[in-house]
Structure 1
Amino acid sequence: MCEHLEAVTAGQISRLLINVPPGTSKSTVTGVFWPMWEWGPRNMPSMRYIGVAHEQNLGIRDNLKCRRLASSPWYQRLWGDRVAMTRDQNEKLNFENKATGFRQVATPGNITGRRGDRIILDDPLSAENANSEAERERVNLWFRESLPTRLNNPDRSAIVIVMQRLHERDLSGLILSERLGYEHLMLPMRYEPERTCVTMLGAADWRSAPGELLFPERFPAKVVDELERVMGAYATAGQHQQRPAPREGGLFKRAWFQPIGAIPAGARRTVRAWDLAATRKASGNDPDWTVGIRISRGNDGLFIIEGVHRFRGSPMEVDAAIRGMAALDGTSVTIRLTQDPGQAGKAQADTFLRALAGYTVLIEPATGDKATRATPAAVQAEAGNVRILASGEADRDAWIGPFLDEISLFPAGAHDDQVDAFADAVNALALGSTYSLANL
């Protein structure tokens, strides 16, 4: 954050969007330290700042911190010759120095008539209002039509926006989807290599290990784990990981998966589909899961999700789990596995077929992207052909909640292991073909 704010000071960046989790000092760095650093150490005391927040009290909080810092004996001893404070304009909403620089507080509703060299927009939308379309559009309209006219010099003045993601159509979503020319600094709580942030200054994220935490000194693994458990999947995806998904679901809608108390009578075909991940969970990391999902289908055309076995383990533990679940399911349940590409994938398939002798095994290579492979399953779910077997609260806590959370976030979620297994099982039941060693 500091490096990119320094680039604003140097004139390299005039529009900056920062997305970071709450509690990572974003307001203090952007709204307190940076303005007072420009006034004092950078010898820019004539700079004028307007701090905008969704709630005036939040703006007052940071304005007071700035004023206390600028008035402190330490600051005045070092830079008081440049930043001497005036007596006639020294209030919590607006204070000035004798070089005509000031820092003011505003909200989207009362910024009219103000102009500044720096507009610092800190969380323009509250978490409580993020799901209100009217509130989101009100902020977005103000941003488009009113904010750009509040700059002293449109060519050289700067707008800095710092916020957590709250909705796919929040202000950050508007800026990014319509490519409004903002340099985008994005730092999730858990590192995701495929989303490494790169800006005009180069790679902006110093982390390398998947799941590595952003601020472990303040948010260690046990704290982050508990926060995510309490917040739930949607808030975690947006506020922590800065990739909000539609609350009602992306490709899959949560409401499509209705519970059923018992499996309907009659003949049924059953598949347990596996999505494999051979990595064991390391401290502070968030690797993929190994998932085995059991789904059945009867002559009525309904797909019943009977249960999900989800864990992290070594290759030996994964192998043991597949054989153990096969023994529990019995020989009437087809085992669906995905063949990895290349010779190694063929060798692995051969190993599984030999280990699962006596069972019906379906092994197929993955073709197409994940969303394409999941689309047939989404069509069945949307048509009302998918049910979830729910016998009580224990099921909902153990596997139904995590399954619905993940599938509703797809394809924007951090994990898609359950989605992949679900799609493979539905496709196997809808199409059905059994591979043997001769097919590999």
Structure 2
Amino acid sequence: MTSTRRPSDQEAFDALLRHRLSAFTRKAFATVDPGATYSHNWHIDLIAEYLEACTRREIKRLIINIPPRYMKSISVTVAWPAWLLGRDPSERILAASYAEVLSLKHSMDCRLVMQSDWYRRIFPGLQLTGDQNEKRKFVTTARGHRFATSVGASVIGEGGRFLIVDDPLNAQQALSDTQREAANTWFDQGFSTRLDDKENGVIVVVMQRLHADDLSGHLLAKGGWEHLCIPGIAEVRTVVDFGRVKVIREPGDVLHPARESRQAIERQKTEMGSYAFAGQYQQRPAPADGGIFKAGWFRRYEKPLETYEQIIQSWDTASKPGQLNDPSCCLTFGVRKDGFDLLQAVVRRLEYPDLKALVLKQAVDWNPNAILIEDKSSGQALLQDLRRETKLPLIGINPEKDKITRASAVSAMVEAGKLALPTQAPWLTDFEMELMTFPNAPHDDQVDGLSQFLNWMRERQHAPEIRIRRL
């Protein structure tokens, strides 16, 4: 007769730590910060589920945005590398933060976990070498390693199957265009190239949002990244359903009320200011009501009118013919007696011949009374060519002052309810986001197109002719 021995409670718990990253993270927290009280919440499980998916290579590019002090570093930069190396001592991990001292702290915390009695019990096969067991880098006998570096530092000669970036900027650095661009360039041209396996390697970026063009914004604009965004306060009804985690957040729900109540968060918002709070807590680097343009200022229309007094198109073109970095934008407005309806926004990255073709197509589609084009750079060449080749109602605009001043000058018109947006349109979210985040957004082409149109309308004393337009 064969008997099956039931595992002891200790054996069952050890098995749980080996197979469930969330349980392992909780145990690691007690080791790294033994004097603190651990308060569990669903978001810790959710982060672990995403990281387990990364471990299985189901996700290879992951961005996690979450407020500060919600266990992001322990979860991603301390516990996960230790768990990876325990399961496979040959894994190679590179981890970076904005400051060397912070990178070294994460490295030492990870090593502290790996040298604990409970860790060596559940992962007896892992051994650290005696000659390469340092703060910056420790190596296993299976030649796996965890290497710590900082943003901007060279990582020549080092590589990994897992790359982690934890807070590439602090709040002060994020205010500097130069430092943001340096961090993004360091990632693009340096750190991201250190993957040992370009096909199956994994990169995880975890941070709080600090600016619309921080590393998260920079990478999300490129596309191809899985995005786990966890705001401190839910702004819309959100259904979280990933792996073993299923949660519904209603508008106003705080992320972890046992740790930080709504009242505490509101106090934090007062102390930080709405701009910083919107980025660091809400993962939206602009206040909900906007900056220069407030969300509550925009009127809404269900469907366009059958007739408009005029149809006006406003173009903001890329600064150089053939430039791919900045898009060109066409906004089409219907002019009514008491204001303007934005009928369409088209944003494209185009080389000059395709840009000219798009101007012609938009003119055919809408038959506008006037086409406003900024009379400089590619817009100047566009005006010259189109005037020579067509009879389109082209108007060259010579902008005065800077972008922010021009946008501020027309903000009163928007506040007065002169501009109406549709209740829904495929382009609407991108348009609103750019306006709400201006002047901190990575692109401002639609803002320029809007301010160009509104300034032109404001400066017109008398329209030469009013024609009723039927759509």
CA contact (8 A) 2:240 2:247 kept: no
Provide the C-alpha distance between the structure 2 equivalents of 1:104 and 1:224, rounded to a whole number of angstroms.
35
Aligned to 1:305: none
TM-score after normalising by structure 2: 0.53
Change (3 A) 1:385 1:117: closer
Answering whether residue 175 of structure 2 is matched by residue 175 of structure 1, we say no
Aligned to 1:22: 68
Answering whether residue 55 of structure 2 is matched by residue 9 of structure 1, we say yes
Provide the C-alpha distance between the structure 1 equivalents of 2:276 and 2:245, rounded to a whole number of angstroms.
24
Aligned to 2:150: 107
Aligned to 1:139: 183
How far apart are residue 369 of structure 1 and its match?
8.1
The letter for the 1-side match of 2:251 is P
Of 207, 221, 225, the residue aligned with 2:262 is 221
CA contact (8 A) 2:239 2:247 kept: no
Provide the C-alpha distance between the structure 1 equivalents of 2:217 and 2:300, rounded to a whole number of angstroms.
37
What SS does the corresponding residue of 1:207 show, helix, strand or coil? strand
How far apart are residue 32 of structure 1 and its match?
1.2
How far apart are residue 206 of structure 1 and its match?
2.3
How far apart are residue 148 of structure 1 and its match?
2.5
Aligned to 1:87: 130
The letter for the 2-side match of 1:230 is E
What SS does the corresponding residue of 2:79 show, helix, strand or coil? helix
Q: How does 1:262-281 map to 2 (within 5 A)?
A: none
Provide the C-alpha distance between the structure 2 equivalents of 1:371 and 1:381, rounded to a whole number of angstroms.
22
How far apart are residue 221 of structure 1 and its match?
1.6
What SS does the corresponding residue of 1:193 show, helix, strand or coil? coil
Aligned to 1:243: 284
Change (3 A) 1:77 1:385: closer
The letter for the 2-side match of 1:71 is Q
Q: Which runs of 5+ in 1 are unaligned?
A: 254-274, 276-292, 294-337, 342-365, 373-377, 389-406, 414-429, 431-440
How far apart are residue 147 of structure 1 and its match?
2.0
CA contact (8 A) 1:245 1:409 kept: no
How far apart are residue 252 of structure 1 and its match?
3.2
Provide the C-alpha distance between the structure 1 equivalents of 2:120 and 2:185, rounded to a whole number of angstroms.
41
Q: How does 1:33-432 map to 2 (within 5 A)?
A: 33-40=79-86, 43-80=87-124, 82-108=125-151, 109-179=153-223, 181-193=224-236, 196=238, 201=242, 206-245=247-286, 250-252=291-293, 382=409, 411=436
Change (3 A) 1:8 1:409: closer
Provide the C-alpha distance between the structure 1 equivalents of 2:411 and 2:205, rounded to a whole number of angstroms.
42
How far apart are residue 224 of structure 1 and its match?
0.7
Change (3 A) 1:370 1:3: farther
Provide the C-alpha distance between the structure 1 equivalents of 2:234 and 2:246, rounded to a whole number of angstroms.
8
Change (3 A) 1:233 1:203: farther
Provide the C-alpha distance between the structure 1 equivalents of 2:285 and 2:343, rounded to a whole number of angstroms.
19
Aligned to 1:362: none
CA contact (8 A) 1:187 1:197 kept: no
The letter for the 1-side match of 2:51 is L
Q: Which runs of 5+ in 2 are unaligned?
A: 1-46, 303-338, 346-404, 416-431, 439-457, 459-471
What SS does the corresponding residue of 2:146 show, helix, strand or coil? strand
How far apart are residue 106 of structure 1 and its match?
0.6
Deviations 1:153-198 (A, max 9, x none): 111111110011000011111111121x11111000001226x487
- What's the RMSD between the two structures over aligned residues? 3.9
Change (3 A) 1:207 1:235: farther
CA contact (8 A) 2:165 2:205 kept: yes
TM-score after normalising by structure 1: 0.56
Aligned to 1:307: none
CA contact (8 A) 1:250 1:408 kept: no
Provide the C-alpha distance between the structure 2 equivalents of 1:103 and 1:156, rounded to a whole number of angstroms.
18
Aligned to 2:307: none
CA contact (8 A) 2:212 2:437 kept: no
Out of 161-170 and 147-156, give the one that drifted further.
147-156
Query: How many pairs does the alignment contain?
Result: 280
The letter for the 2-side match of 1:234 is Y
Change (3 A) 1:151 1:225: same
The letter for the 2-side match of 1:7 is A
Provide the C-alpha distance between the structure 1 equivalents of 2:81 and 2:433, rounded to a whole number of angstroms.
41
Deviations 1:201-244 (A, max 9, x none): 58988232101011222211221111111001001110000010
How far apart are residue 24 of structure 1 and its match?
0.7
Provide the C-alpha distance between the structure 2 equivalents of 1:192 and 1:203, rounded to a whole number of angstroms.
24
Deviations 1:46-88 (A, max 9, x none): 11111101101111111111111111111112212x1112111
Provide the C-alpha distance between the structure 1 equivalents of 2:412 and 2:122, rounded to a whole number of angstroms.
71
Provide the C-alpha distance between the structure 1 equivalents of 2:111 and 2:101, rounded to a whole number of angstroms.
15
Provide the C-alpha distance between the structure 2 equivalents of 1:74 and 1:58, rounded to a whole number of angstroms.
25
Deviations 1:7-52 (A, max 9, x none): 0111101111111110110000001111122222xx2111111110
CA contact (8 A) 1:63 1:92 kept: yes
Change (3 A) 1:154 1:381: closer
What SS does the corresponding residue of 1:159 show, helix, strand or coil? strand
